[in-house]
Structure 1
Amino acid sequence: MNHLTTAHGITLGIESFGDDGAPLVLLAGGTTMLSWPDALCERLAAGGRRAVRYDLRDSGESTTVDPEAPAYTLRDLAADAVALVDALGGGPAHLAGIGVGGMVAQVAVLDRPDAFSALTLVGTRAVAPGPTDDDLPDHDQATMGRLFARPMPDWADREAVAEFAAAGAEIFGDDPAAARATAARIWDRTPGTAPPVQMANQLGMVFSKLDCTPRWRERLPDIGVPTLVVHGRRDPFFPVGNGEAIAREIPGARLLVLPEAATAIPDTAVAEVAEAMLTLG
């Protein structure tokens, strides 16, 4: 099954690993499902879970309309996670979000705590895109300057897009070869070659245009499910202080800092992250 249409009419691209009757771990993409490594999904399945990763709207095989003017909010994306749990019949589920998908996951658990049994947040923060709170570290400006100094690729050229992703990964401190391969897979899964759609799939720029109100950071102490916070020590996009703050503010949360990781889950950390998620629930 590669698609699932929710009760509220949104089609979401999904991929399932493991036994359909096993406890559900729902993996929200950041923005596409390929933010979650194949090897991690496979380890969760080997650990007795049904791991289902999915594309957020305007990415991958999910409903794509206009990434430059999204007609939905962060709370709508959170409602998609709840709708997926209902449609898959696996509730309450362990919800995991990476990057911007971690924002979706936080809001989903806060808005519908009955739908979820556990929460994993990877490389994310507790405030929306844009200016951050004074006590949270913002994007590393030197890194962002290097990223945005580069000319954009021809988004209709698969190899140019893959090379652009590899060069960006090198700037971030991620694995360029892995990023190149993932970018090519994302390109292949993207509906059409329209530059705004390809750009949204590769960079997740749609999130900068979303209505992410109201704030949710102040509600983090209300999260009552077991929570794992995973963060790369070398993450320049959402520096590790963001993960540390989330772990402090969610009661009983466990913080797992990956000393050699940046924004992506590296192959060397897959086993540790999977084991921590399986232990959580």
Structure 2
Amino acid sequence: MAIVTHYLSNGEKLVKLSDVELCVETFGDPAKPAVLLVDGAAASMLWWEADLCERIARGDRFVIRYDNRDTGRSTCYPPGRPGYEFTDLAEDALGVLDALEVERAHVVCRSMAGGIGLILGVDHPDRVVSQTFVSSSTGEDGLPPPSKGFADNVPAAPDPSDRAAVVDFVVASAKAYSGDSPFFDETATRALVERDVARTRDIASTLTNHYAMDFDGAARDFGDITAPTLVVHGNRDPALPLPHGQALRDAIPGAKLLVLEGAGHDLPRPLWDVFVPALIRHTASACGAVPPGADERIR
């Protein structure tokens, strides 16, 4: 059973799921439609920036973000030995909803968490009102590899005990993943990373464990997703080039694609004026509140 064990002074909550603690934060009115934000590998909930969450909440949404295992203030495991599999992370998402007494949510998954969205959409469709996949992929054969030179721009892993080196590493990695986007803000990114590293239980685990876990479970097909789906992808994504987003759109019946011009693998602040209205329209349409918007960028 998922319960909120206690509240932290900054508005965050610790949720107990069996032997796991997850740190959760919410924005907006719990009576409004819930939007669950799930981030990718090694990313705590801080990468769904609070300003972004508040902006979505102002669209009459109840926004939920949380630290996955091995990130932020959530339970960590010994470096290189994650005590969980991919389906466990999907169950964590459901546990967060249970703890907040949310029956169904609009699920927004970024990057690696697209696999969590797949599990939720196929195995737990009764809990999902709509889905949004940001900077993700079907993972099928034949899609283009990372852009030329991308791997060369990602620095070598730092000594986890050297906090300054860790911060430099994560900032440099974020810059590489931005695809040299004109919107990349190194100053803001460094401030976010410094906060993130300072609040993380075990940074060595954060840097390694999501890449070491077992991507378990029976074969699942994006074509089996029935929830209304929006795919969001940057046209400069160096890790998963745009054809990955196009393939995801094509794989999910009825899915729409929003291409973020000038974005890499991230969701830069200057493009929130594009992303947030599209998300509000998509989630409203999924509830039958309004017809789909006529934004020509969504196809």
TM-score range, shorter chain: 0.7 to 0.9
Hey, what does 2:145 align to over in structure 1?
A: 138
Hey, what does 1:230 align to over in structure 2?
A: 232
Hey, what does 1:256 align to over in structure 2?
A: 258
Hey, what does 2:296 align to over in structure 1?
A: none
The AA in structure 1 aligned to 2:143 is L
Is 32-41 or 255-264 further displaced after alignment?
32-41
* 1:200 Cα deviation after fit: 4.2
The AA in structure 2 aligned to 1:140 is S
Pairing 1:71–2:71 present = no
2:190 aligns with one of 170, 180, 185: 180
**Equivalents in 1 of 2:87, 2:80: separation in Å?**
18
Secondary structure of the corresponding residue to residue 277 of structure 1: helix
The structure with more helix, counted as a fraction of residues: 1
Hey, what does 2:65 align to over in structure 1?
A: 53
Q: CA RMSD for the aligned pairs?
A: 1.9
The AA in structure 2 aligned to 1:212 is F
Q: Provide the identity percentage.
A: 36
**Equivalents in 1 of 2:174, 2:70: separation in Å?**
22
Contact 1:17 1:45 survives alignment (8 Å): yes
**Equivalents in 2 of 1:55, 1:126: separation in Å?**
24
Secondary structure of the corresponding residue to residue 125 of structure 1: coil
**Equivalents in 1 of 2:128, 2:18: separation in Å?**
19
The AA in structure 1 aligned to 2:275 is V
Contact 2:14 2:22 survives alignment (8 Å): yes
* 1:145 Cα deviation after fit: 2.5
Pairing 1:41–2:53 present = yes
Larger Rg: 2
Equivalent residue runs for 1:201-240 within 5 Å: 201=206, 203=207, 205-214=208-217, 216=219, 219-240=221-242
Aligned length: 266
The AA in structure 2 aligned to 1:23 is P
Equivalent residue runs for 1:21-170 within 5 Å: 21-30=31-40, 31-127=43-139, 133-147=140-154, 150-170=155-175
**Equivalents in 1 of 2:172, 2:83: separation in Å?**
32
5+ residue gaps, structure 1: 128-132, 192-196
Contact 2:235 2:262 survives alignment (8 Å): yes
How does the TM-score come out when normalised to structure 2?
Answer: 0.82
Secondary structure of the corresponding residue to residue 149 of structure 2: helix
The AA in structure 1 aligned to 2:150 is T
Contact 1:24 1:91 survives alignment (8 Å): no
**Equivalents in 1 of 2:39, 2:22: separation in Å?**
11
**Equivalents in 2 of 1:120, 1:67: separation in Å?**
31
**Equivalents in 1 of 2:240, 2:218: separation in Å?**
18
* 1:87 Cα deviation after fit: 1.7
**Equivalents in 2 of 1:228, 1:219: separation in Å?**
17
Hey, what does 1:20 align to over in structure 2?
A: 30
* 1:215 Cα deviation after fit: 6.3
